[in-house]
Amino acid sequence: MARTRNRIKHHAGTALWHGTLAVVLLALCGAVGHAATLPDGLTEQQIDDVVSRTQQAFQVPGVAVGVIHDGKIVFAKGYGRKAEDEKSGKVDATTLFAIGSNSKEFTATALATLVDEGKLKWTDRVSDVMPEFRVADPWITREFRVSDLLTHHSGMGLGAGDLMLFSHSTFTRKDVLAALPYMPFTGRFRADYAYNNLLYVVAGALVEKISGQTWEQYVQTHLIDAAALPACQSTFPVKGQTDVAAGQGSDGVLPDRSARKSVAMAPAGGVWCSVNGMNRWVQTLMNGGQTVDGRKIISLAQRDALWAPHALLPLPDSATKTQSHFRAYGYGWFMEDFFGLKRVWHTGTVSGMVSYVSMLPEKNTGLVVLTNHDDHHATYSIALTMSSLIATGKTEDWVSYWQDDVKKAEEKAAKEASTTGPGSPARPFISLPVSDLKDYVGLYHDAWRGDIRLSLKDNALVMSFSKANGLSGTLSALPHDLFVAKWQDRANDASDDSYVQFERDTSGKVTGFHMQVVGSDFSFDAQDMHPLKVSDQ
């Protein structure tokens, strides 16, 4: 999933008009029949209860939930408020949420439309279609197929290149393509699974190359508008849009329309959508790629290609509780056996919000969960509770299960921090004189991430990144040229505090450094960098 941390043509008016229409239609249908039309095993009261428990357990300000059954949208409801601010308005079925990595489905589907049109094959070599595409290994460059962009089996490491997409990055898609040849391969091509956002950005660039439109324009016109997804857009919301959720750590301030820029990461996590919009999206996919009023978005054959297992994944710890024996990745979707049924699903995390889509095709049922809190345990609690009830009529206490998971992780992290972590009694920070700190000052350059500057400010060593508005931190010293970078934006970047290990040559001169995140945020892929010192100034 993309992590916490847009475009040429804006379609908010269309999205908001559809949102208004959806509210009218829901009002005409009324609340009557919600319980009657929900799938067997699931009631509105059960949904309300699990949402309420989840909000309390994980301090989630707002939630939106949708259910699709037997080809119809049977449930769409908002809970709580739009932001952490107690005075923010209430969430409703038209409130826009950032859906994060559930945007990958839009990118994969965009490619599927091009396959349907005969402009592309899944087996095409990427370099044949996009000659500027190159990776570190020449053989892999030649063999890399369109399908390899989508299955997380490239051989790149977990979260490789995410520092070009998140953490205040201002990289463009052109910048990403230029840096791609310098990304290290740490696994086996088409063999080792490692979740990757970077190649979905490349997939978005491929859509642009073939269509002649920006990714944002193509997704908006060919998918969102074509399927009439209410309150849904391929671009970041702007000032004047009022029914918008704000994620954890966000001030909720929206940019002026004139100041909005295309962001590199959008094909991996840039769509914003309401539960009404996501309901209709799921309804269309479950209907074989065709809307309820007969408009074909993609063919059934291509919908099935998206939902086919293309790469095997390891099973999670929870597999025994869901009777799951395999897990795989298709094109933009996870899939697994779930109490003897096929389940197709995906999550998304970005901008302090988390989303979850889960479908049980054999039950003709799908569901959507959107939240404005940066904690996947909350969405997992709601989605797995509802999916279990739909599949079997009963459920584990998933709220308690994920609460226990959080508690164990926090206890483990606290123990490590107090015993062996930086600044602990076993590894106390040390004070270095300014004369020693001057050894590290200068400009460093990494082949793919670019320039990183080390400077002295108020007798402290400060690190700042190029092409990143606000990624800056103060370094605290440990013995042996080892430091810890504490990022200044604590609300968004505290979990990314990182070790910085400087290197010296045989004369004792500092020549470069390596980094490693102190915590476990895979999207802060500092370990993939090796900046070399290019100047002492």
Question: Which amino acid, 51?
Answer: V
Same domain, 180 and 218: yes
Would you state the pLDDT for residue 252? 83
- Which has the minimum average pLDDT: 120-129, 317-326, 408-417? 408-417
Across 29-38, average pLDDT: 49
Asked whether the predicted pLDDT for residue 9 surpasses 50, the reply is no
Would you state the pLDDT for residue 495? 87
Domain boundary among 376, 411, 446: 411
Scanning the structure block, which residue is given the tokens 């790629």? 289
What does residue 438 show for φ and ψ, rounded to 5 degrees? -65, -25
Asked whether the predicted pLDDT for residue 258 surpasses 80, the reply is no
Report residue 99 as tokens. 């859906």
- Which has the minimum average pLDDT: 7-16, 74-83, 374-383, 476-485? 7-16
Report residue 131 as tokens. 């000659």
Across 435-463, average pLDDT: 97
Query: In CATH, what number is assigned to the domain containing residue 462?
Result: 2.40.128.50
What would the DSSP string read from start to end of 487-502?
ES-HHHHGGG-EEEEE
Neighbours of 66 (CB within 10 A): 26
Residues 82, 371: Cα–Cα separation, whole Å = 9
Q: How confident is the model at residue 293 (pLDDT cuts 50, 70, 90)?
A: very high
Indicate if the alpha-carbon torsion angle 174, 120, 281, 102 is positive or negative: negative
Would you state the pLDDT for residue 318? 93
Sorted by sequence, the CB contacts under 8 Å of residue 131 that are 6+ apart come out as none
The residue segments making up the domain with residue 266 are 44-411
Residues 231, 244: Cα–Cα separation, whole Å = 10
Q: Nearest to residue 234, comparing CAs of 207, 196, 198?
A: 207
Q: How many domains does one find in the chain?
A: 2
Taking the alpha carbons at both ends of the chain, their separation in whole angstroms is 38
Query: In CATH, what number is assigned to the domain containing residue 180?
Result: 3.40.710.10
Asked whether the predicted pLDDT for residue 24 surpasses 80, the reply is no
Asked whether the predicted pLDDT for residue 18 surpasses 70, the reply is no
Any domain includes 6: no
Same domain, 301 and 446: no
Tell me the three-class secondary structure of 27-48, residue by residue.
HHHCCCCHHHHCCCCCCHHHHH
Any domain includes 4: no
Same domain, 453 and 500: yes
Question: Which amino acid, 178?
Answer: A
Same domain, 312 and 372: yes
Asked whether the predicted pLDDT for residue 153 surpasses 90, the reply is yes
**Higher per-residue pLDDT: 448 or 14:** 448
Any domain includes 39: no
**Higher per-residue pLDDT: 99 or 84:** 99
Tell me the three-class secondary structure of 409-427, residue by residue.
HHHHHHHHHHHCCCCCCCC
What does residue 363 show for φ and ψ, rounded to 5 degrees? -100, 5
On the CB side of 134, CA atoms within 13 Å amount to 10
Would you state the pLDDT for residue 470? 87
Across 164-174, average pLDDT: 93
Domain boundary among 411, 443, 477: 411
Asked whether the predicted pLDDT for residue 362 surpasses 80, the reply is yes
Any domain includes 9: no
Residues 41, 390: Cα–Cα separation, whole Å = 5
Residues 352, 166: Cα–Cα separation, whole Å = 12
Residues 211, 90: Cα–Cα separation, whole Å = 39
Q: What is the pLDDT of residues 209-247, one digit of tens each?
A: 999 999 999 999 999 999 999 999 999 999 999 999 999
Would you state the pLDDT for residue 158? 94
Same domain, 378 and 489: no
Residues 31, 27: Cα–Cα separation, whole Å = 8
Would you state the pLDDT for residue 83? 93
Same domain, 230 and 333: yes
Going by the DSSP 8-state scheme, the letter that residue 519 receives in this structure is S
Q: Nearest to residue 112, comparing CAs of 294, 284, 350, 341?
A: 284
Report residue 92 as tokens. 């409703």
| Spatial contact of 264 and 175, defined as CB atoms under 8 Å apart | yes
Scanning the structure block, which residue is given the tokens 């079925």? 93
Would you state the pLDDT for residue 14? 34
Q: How confident is the model at residue 251 (pLDDT cuts 50, 70, 90)?
A: confident
Across 139-165, average pLDDT: 96
292 CB-contact burial (10 Å; exposed 0-12 / middle 13-18 / buried 19+): middle
Same domain, 457 and 352: no
Same domain, 105 and 220: yes
Same domain, 82 and 183: yes
Residues 68, 73: Cα–Cα separation, whole Å = 4
**Higher per-residue pLDDT: 141 or 260:** 141
What does residue 318 show for φ and ψ, rounded to 5 degrees? -80, 0
The SS3 of residue 258 is helix
Question: Which amino acid, 352?
Answer: G
Any domain includes 478: yes
Q: For all residues of the chain together, what is the average pLDDT?
A: 91
| Spatial contact of 19 and 243, defined as CB atoms under 8 Å apart | yes
Sorted by sequence, the CB contacts under 8 Å of residue 535 that are 6+ apart come out as 442, 443
Tell me the three-class secondary structure of 191-232, residue by residue.
CCCCCCCHHHHHHHHHHHHHHCCCHHHHHHHHHHHCCCCCCE
| Spatial contact of 372 and 340, defined as CB atoms under 8 Å apart | no
Across 173-188, average pLDDT: 95
The SS3 of residue 106 is helix
Sorted by sequence, the CB contacts under 8 Å of residue 294 that are 6+ apart come out as none
Would you state the pLDDT for residue 491? 81
Q: How confident is the model at residue 10 (pLDDT cuts 50, 70, 90)?
A: very low
Scanning the structure block, which residue is given the tokens 């290990």? 501
The Cα-based distances of 350 to 1, 375, 409 in angstroms read 8, 10, 21
Domain boundary among 411, 426, 445: 411
Asked whether the predicted pLDDT for residue 337 surpasses 60, the reply is yes
Would you state the pLDDT for residue 11? 33
Same domain, 452 and 527: yes
**Higher per-residue pLDDT: 261 or 301:** 301
Q: What is the pLDDT of residues 381-422, one digit of tens each?
A: 999 999 999 999 999 999 999 999 999 999 998 998 899 899
Asked whether the predicted pLDDT for residue 256 surpasses 50, the reply is yes
Would you state the pLDDT for residue 34? 45
Any domain includes 15: no
- The segment with the largest mean pLDDT, out of 10-24, 26-40, 357-371, is 357-371
On the CB side of 451, CA atoms within 13 Å amount to 10
Would you state the pLDDT for residue 22? 40
Any domain includes 14: no
Percent above pLDDT 70 for the chain: 93
Same domain, 383 and 465: no
Across 432-443, average pLDDT: 97
Would you state the pLDDT for residue 94? 98
Residues 336, 322: Cα–Cα separation, whole Å = 10
Would you state the pLDDT for residue 19? 39
Residues 355, 342: Cα–Cα separation, whole Å = 20
**pTM, 2 dp:** 0.91
Any domain includes 166: yes
- Which has the minimum average pLDDT: 278-292, 301-315, 414-428? 414-428
Would you state the pLDDT for residue 134? 97
Would you state the pLDDT for residue 346? 98
Scanning the structure block, which residue is given the tokens 């309401």? 274
Percent above pLDDT 90 for the chain: 84
Same domain, 405 and 447: no
| Spatial contact of 246 and 88, defined as CB atoms under 8 Å apart | yes
Asked whether the predicted pLDDT for residue 505 surpasses 80, the reply is yes
What does residue 503 show for φ and ψ, rounded to 5 degrees? -120, 150
